[in-house]
Chains A and B, each alone.
Chain A
Amino acid sequence: MDIIQIVLLGIIASILYIVLKDIHASFAFFLILITGIIIFLAIIQQIGTILTLIQSLGDKANVEGMYMETILKIIGIAYIAELGASLTKDAGLTSVATKIEMAGKIFILLLAVPIITAVIESILSFLPTT
Chain B
Amino acid sequence: MFTDATILFQIAGIGIIVALIHTILKQMGKEEIAQFATLLGFIIVLVIVINGLDDLFQQIKSVFLFQG
| Residues in A lying within 8 Å of B, measured CB to CB | 2, 5, 8-9, 12-13, 16, 19-20, 23-24, 26-28, 30-31, 33-35, 37-38, 40-42, 44-45, 47-48, 51, 69, 72-73, 75-76, 79-80
CB distance from B16 to the nearest CB of A (A): 6
Query: How many pairs of A and B residues are in contact by the CB < 8 Å rule?
Result: 99
Q: A9-B8, A26-B42 are in contact. Are A72 and B64 (CB under 8 A)?
A: yes
Q: Is the CB of B64 within 8 A of A76?
A: yes
Q: Which residues of B contact A (CB under 8 A)?
A: 1-3, 5, 7-9, 11-12, 14-16, 18-19, 38, 41-42, 45-46, 48-49, 52-53, 55-57, 59-60, 63-66
The dominant DSSP class at the A interface is helix
User: What residues of chain A lie closer than 8 Å to B5, measured between beta carbons?
Assistant: 8-9, 12-13
Check B56–A41 contact: CB distance below 8 A. yes
In the bound complex, do residue A38 and residue B60 qualify as a contact, i.e. CB atoms below 8 Å apart? no
Q: Are the CB atoms of A30 and B2 closer together than 8 Å?
A: no
Assess whether A20 is in contact with B63, with CB atoms less than 8 Å apart.
no
CA distance A23 to B46 in the complex (A): 18
Please name 16 further chain A to chain B contacts, defined as beta carbons within 8 Å, in addition to the given A33-B49, A37-B56, A76-B64, sorted by A numbering. A2-B2, A16-B11, A19-B12, A23-B19, A27-B41, A30-B45, A30-B46, A35-B8, A38-B7, A38-B52, A41-B56, A44-B56, A69-B65, A76-B63, A76-B65, A80-B57
Query: In the bound complex, what is the Cα–Cα distance between A70 and B32 (angstroms)?
Result: 53
Please provide the 8 A-B residue pairs with the shortest distance between their CB atoms, ordered closest to farther: A76-B64, A27-B15, A16-B12, A37-B52, A23-B19, A48-B63, A24-B19, A24-B15
B9 close to A16 (CB less than 8 A): yes
Residues of A within 8 A of B2 (CB): 2, 5, 41-42
